[in-house]
């Protein structure tokens, strides 16, 4: 890439993609799907093997991804929780410096009620899109209608409830195949819109958030992806029995009892823990099929960049909002504390890295809060003081990054101020339904506001089956982890305003005079 070439940015955000279901990961009980387009990105870029989301589900996770902030600071702790109006984000920063960020997908955002009328219709929806994005195609309410119109225009008759297009075909067994054919799937549609947008840019610099809803449930892949992967060839779920000490923790037991099977297997009543092993493997095959579908569509985008020569001036970032349990610990979804729900992919293809230095893998702990600073740094833009993350460009170029974090941190708020299910079942107050995690190279510590902690040795027990928190032999380890977690929270608490100070000379920021003082 020459210094004069205009930079492009392609941020690809998939939904619910596990970090350990990435090319190059070896599972002892099966083979992962081959994903040639993603494998190409990894050969030509940098893969971050220990990359973690900061929160779950979608709204909190995307808030951290797009603001560079920990959940304890942005406080979007659940879906439909508003974001403070004074928090900036990736699109707003890019637009303020002359870029026109375009969006395909969704951001799961809610406006600040302190500056937004309570009657705003967005409060009745599942989520809206952050201001600052030029929305090309959205999967937020009520924007689904654009996708439904796309189906109708191509001759597909919609069911009475158009959202039933994501159900399995009526003649199927409830797991596959999808009602919508692959050329009309939401994954293909997102790619079609992206390619139209890129063609219309005609060599001008562009900034695109390309979001895919998959492999988010329902785990129903269209033909032929529904049959691409033999269920018996895939990795098997772990910790399916009920004997592990972690299963006896009241929160883990409550999750297993309440995670609904019907969200993942059509027509299956009761908890997901009751889904039999054969059905779990068939669900895994559909999950793999949805990954393969994304990979094929990613190939279409890369082919366009190759044809136009824009591949050599485009930063490509591939990541996910959060992970997916996929039957591990008898759970599906991401509403838990285990690694599969928070360990996510991150691949960065930086065209400025010489070809001979590409294909690097990084084992340092990185977090989704690092994505926004990385993109802004690459574009030569200032990084807002609110950002808790740091730029990863040094890792991409093989440079040492001094003072890098030695652990990952993530949080989950499982409270429900309306239904109060967890509060009643676990005997917790409204402000006690939260957990924070310190995930280090060996030990993982889970601290609950109103329940006993958990401690796992991730080297000896990588599947988190044996809780060591009550073991006297590990008391010192648990205490040290708690200290580290408290240190992290104190050091990373929101310091946007405390970095300003009044002084005899006027307003200062980090000790430097702002605006010439008085």
- Asked if residues 438 and 454 have their Cβ atoms less than 8 Å apart, the reply is no
Return the structure tokens found at 178: 């999808």
Helix residue spans in 184-249 (DSSP H) = 186-201
Question: First and final CA of the chain: distance in angstroms?
Answer: 45
Identify the three-state secondary structure at position 293.
helix
Identify the three-state secondary structure at position 371.
helix
Strand partners, 30: 27
Return the structure tokens found at 181: 């054919």
Cα(476)–Cα(92) distance, integer angstroms: 45
8-state DSSP, 172: S
Which of 17, 32, 52 is CA-nearest to residue 337?
52
Which of 448, 305, 428, 387 is CA-nearest to residue 12?
305
CA 306 to chain centre: 27
Residues 6 or more apart whose CB falls under 8 angstroms from that of 329 comprise 238, 239, 240, 246, 247, 252, 256, 336, 338, 464
**Taking the C-alpha atoms of 304, 308, 311 and 316 in order, what is their torsion angle to the nearest 10 degrees?**
-50
Return the structure tokens found at 514: 């702002």
- Asked if residues 370 and 392 have their Cβ atoms less than 8 Å apart, the reply is yes
Q: Which of 58, 259, 387, 481 is catalytic?
A: 58
- Look up 201 and say whether it is catalytic: no
Return the structure tokens found at 155: 């001759």
DSSP secondary structure string for all residues of 108-134: -B---TTSS-TT-GGGGSS-BPPTT-E
Cα(457)–Cα(246) distance, integer angstroms: 12
Cα(332)–Cα(215) distance, integer angstroms: 13
Q: If you search the block for the tokens 């952050």, which residue do you land on?
A: 130
The CA-atom distances, in angstroms, between 279 and each of 131, 174, 220 are 42, 10, 13
Cα(442)–Cα(440) distance, integer angstroms: 5
- Asked if residues 389 and 68 have their Cβ atoms less than 8 Å apart, the reply is yes
- Asked if residues 513 and 505 have their Cβ atoms less than 8 Å apart, the reply is yes
The sheet with strand 346-349 has its strands ordered as: 134-138, 101-105, 207-211, 8-14, 314-320, 346-349, 46-52, 360-367
- Asked if residues 87 and 67 have their Cβ atoms less than 8 Å apart, the reply is yes
Q: Write out the catalytic residue numbers.
A: 58
């Amino acid at each position: 890439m020459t210094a004069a070439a205009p930079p492009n940015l392609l941020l690809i955000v998939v939904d619910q993609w596990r970090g350990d279901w990435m090319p190059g990961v070896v599972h002892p009980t099966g083979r992962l799907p081959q994903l040639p387009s993603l494998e190409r990105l990894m050969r030509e870029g940098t893969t971050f093997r220990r990359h973690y989301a900061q929160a779950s589900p979608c709204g909190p996770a995307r808030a951290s991804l797009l603001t560079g902030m920990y959940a304890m600071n942005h406080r979007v702790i659940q879906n439909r929780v508003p974001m403070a109006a004074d928090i900036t984000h990736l699109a707003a920063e890019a637009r303020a410096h002359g870029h026109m960020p375009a969006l395909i997908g969704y951001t799961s955002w809610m406006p600040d009620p302190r500056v937004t009328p309570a009657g705003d219709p967005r409060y009745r929806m599942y989520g809206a899109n952050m201001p600052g994005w030029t929305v090309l195609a959205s999967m937020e309410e009520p924007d689904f209608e654009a996708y439904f119109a796309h189906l109708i225009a191509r001759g597909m008759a919609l069911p009475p409830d158009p959202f039933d297009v994501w159900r399995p075909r009526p003649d199927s067994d409830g797991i596959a195949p999808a009602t919508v054919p692959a050329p009309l799937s939401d994954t293909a549609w997102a790619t079609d819109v992206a390619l139209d947008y890129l063609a219309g840019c005609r060599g001008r610099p562009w900034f695109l958030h390309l979001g895919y809803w998959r492999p988010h449930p329902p785990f129903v892949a269209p033909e032929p992806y529904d049959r691409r992967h033999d269920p018996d060839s895939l990795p098997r779920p772990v910790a399916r029995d009920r004997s592990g000490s972690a299963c006896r923790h009241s929160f883990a037991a409550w999750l297993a009892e309440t995670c609904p099977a019907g969200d993942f297997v059509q027509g299956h009543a009761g908890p997901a823990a009751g889904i039999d092993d054969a059905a779990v493997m068939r669900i895994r095959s559909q999950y793999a099929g949805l990954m393969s579908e994304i990979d094929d569509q990613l190939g279409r985008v890369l082919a366009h960049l190759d044809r136009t020569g824009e591949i050599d001036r485009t930063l490509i970032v591939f990541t996910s909002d959060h992970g997916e349990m996929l039957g591990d610990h008898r759970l599906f979804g991401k509403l838990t504390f285990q690694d599969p729900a928070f360990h996510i992919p991150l691949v960065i293809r930086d065209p400025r890295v010489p070809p001979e230095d590409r294909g690097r893998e990084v084992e340092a702990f990185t977090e989704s809060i690092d994505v926004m600073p990385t993109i802004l740094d690459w574009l030569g833009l200032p990084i807002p003081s609110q950002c808790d993350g740091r730029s990863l460009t040094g890792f991409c170029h093989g440079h040492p990054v001094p003072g890098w974090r030695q652990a990952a941190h993530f949080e989950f708020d499982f409270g429900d101020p309306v239904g109060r299910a967890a509060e009643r079942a676990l005997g917790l107050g409204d402000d006690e339904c939260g957990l924070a995690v310190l995930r280090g190279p060996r030990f993982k510590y889970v601290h609950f506001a109103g329940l006993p902690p958990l401690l796992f040795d991730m080297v000896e027990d990588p599947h988190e089956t044996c809780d060591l928190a009550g073991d006297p032999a590990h008391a010192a380890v648990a205490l040290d982890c708690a200290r580290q977690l408290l240190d992290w929270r104190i050091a990373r608490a929101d310091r946007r305003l405390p970095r300003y100070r009044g002084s005899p000379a006027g307003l200062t920021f980090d000790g430097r005079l702002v605006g010439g003082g008085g």
